[in-house]
Amino acid sequence: MRLGEVGEFNFIDSIARLAGCPAAPVLVGIGDDAAVLDVGSAQKLVVTTDAMVQGVHFRRDWLAPHQIGWRAMAACLSDIAAMGAQPTAVFASVALPADLDSEYALDIVRGLADCARRFDTTLAGGDCTVSPALIFIDTVAIGTSPCPWLRSQARPGDVLMVTGSLGDAAAAVALLSSGRRPDDIPPPLLERFAQPLPRLREASILSARGLVSAALDISDGLVQDAGHMATQSGVAIRLESAAVPISDICRAAAAELGHDPLSWALAGGEDFELLLAVPAHRVAEAQQLLFDHCGTSLTPVGAVASGCGVTVLDADGQQLALDRSGWDHFSSPNKQ
């Protein structure tokens, strides 16, 4: 059977079985946004890697080289935010065609290093090698937290919340796919795809107050990522689609393309917003804190209950039928 028929998540399950149960010093292994290691200090170590491939995650005519590097690093740092951790150091392995212009290649590295610097961390190493054809970038981030957030700790009664707004990155990709050039797209929308800002500051503030039961970053789409949280926490999640925050620029792009912005908000990944399960009695406190310290909205989009699976309700409380619930890297069409 081909990998594309097996699907990304079944393949990851097989990898987890092959790797075996995590044992000390590995506290959390394959299956969360990052692994958690105990290295004998008060802080737990959080480690994540993120691979980005030309023609799958980016196209050279859609992103400038600095944006390619920035986005690769941001994706990795977003996983650190999803663990409620702060980055200690970052690394990048790049495989680049030998005939690539060296200034173009350095701009990719500038993007990697600038994104790291923007979030108060350092590009401390990596590897570089030649690629016969495509650009490959694997970013690695190491972070620390005294008590990392996991996907598996959502509890019945928690409120499901998202930072910022959803669907912007998917809207930008849809405009690019429709033939719009990057410089014909409103910069605030393009930047959500091309230069995302991981929610590290938000994670720091919420983590310090112990306001979060479970978390992940929305990289595969809200519905699919909520499904990961439901499965790993052993709970049911109900999403209220009418409550999902959608920006005006996303709605404008949808109107232009005759598209329903809700499908981008529910199924489009790569906004790198956080999906958080917050105990109901601490929702207002979490919202106030994020607004005061970061100006970031924190919107309730659903609830955690006993049971299993994800249900998406429309404004009338009817269950919504979804034709595609998110992103599977092996079976989804490429961006190229």
Q: What is the maximum span of the chain, computed from C-alpha positions, in angstroms?
A: 58
Identified binder of a second copy from the candidate list 13, 60, 64, 93, rule CB under 8 A:
93
Region near a second copy per CB under 8 A, out of 90-98, 198-206, 244-252, 291-299: 90-98
Helices 168-177 and 248-257, axial angle in degrees (round to 10): 30
Q: Are strands 26-28 and 214-217 parallel, antiparallel or unpaired?
A: unpaired
For the chain, the first-to-last Cα distance in angstroms comes to 24
Bond preceding residue 25 cis, omega within 30 of 0: yes
Instruction: Please select the residue that binds a second copy; options are 13, 29, 180, 243, rule is CB under 8 A.
Output: 29
The stretch among 106-114, 236-244, 300-308, 309-317 that binds a second copy (CB under 8 A) is: 106-114
Q: What residues form DSSP beta bridges with 45?
A: 37, 144
Residue 95 touching a second copy (CB under 8 A): yes
Smallest distance from a second copy to CB 122, Å? 5
Quick check: 321 binds a second copy (CB under 8 A)? no
Nearer to a second copy, 141 or 310 (CB): 141
Binding flag, residue 61, a second copy (CB under 8 A): no
d(CA 228, CA 234): 10
Instruction: Report the nearest approach of a second copy to the CB of residue 67 (Å).
Output: 16
Contact between 22 and a second copy by CB under 8 A: the answer reads yes
Kindly state whether residue 182 participates in binding a second copy, applying the rule CB under 8 A: no
| Of the candidate residues 181, 189, 203, 329, the single one contacting a second copy (CB under 8 A) | 329
Report the C-alpha gap between 43 and 24 in whole angstroms.
15
Q: Would you give the binding string for a second copy spanning residues 113-152, x where CB under 8 A is met?
A: x--xx----xxxxxxxxxxxxx-x-x-x-x-x--------
Using CB under 8 A as the binding criterion, the count of chain residues that bind a second copy stands at 86
Does position 20 bind a second copy by CB under 8 A? Answer: yes
Q: Which stretch binds a second copy (CB under 8 A): 38-46, 151-159, 280-288, 315-323?
A: 38-46
Report residue 220 as tokens. Answer: 């595969």
Tell me: does residue 56 bind a second copy (CB under 8 A).
yes
- Tokens 């399960």, located at residue: 277
Question: Which distant-in-sequence residues (6+ apart) come within 8 Å of 17 by Cβ?
Answer: none
DSSP 52-66: EEBTTTB-TTTS-HH
How many angstroms separate the CA atoms of 165 and 265, rounded? 8
Give the count of alpha carbons within 13 A of 13, CB side only: 8
- Should residue 177 be labelled a site residue for a second copy when binding is judged by CB under 8 A? no
> Is the backbone peptide bond immediately before 187 cis, with ω within 30 degrees of 0?
no
Query: From the CA atom positions of the chain, what is the Rg in Å?
Result: 19
In the block, tokens 């269950």 appear at 319
If the CB atoms of residues 127 and 256 are measured against a second copy, the closer one turns out to be: 127
Does 317 help bind a second copy (rule: CB under 8 A)? no
Enumerate residues 237-296 that contact a second copy by CB under 8 A: none
Q: How far is the CB of 256 from a second copy (least distance, A)?
A: 30
Closest distance between a second copy and the C-beta of residue 62, in Å? 15
Of the pair 105, 283, the CB lying nearest a second copy is at 105
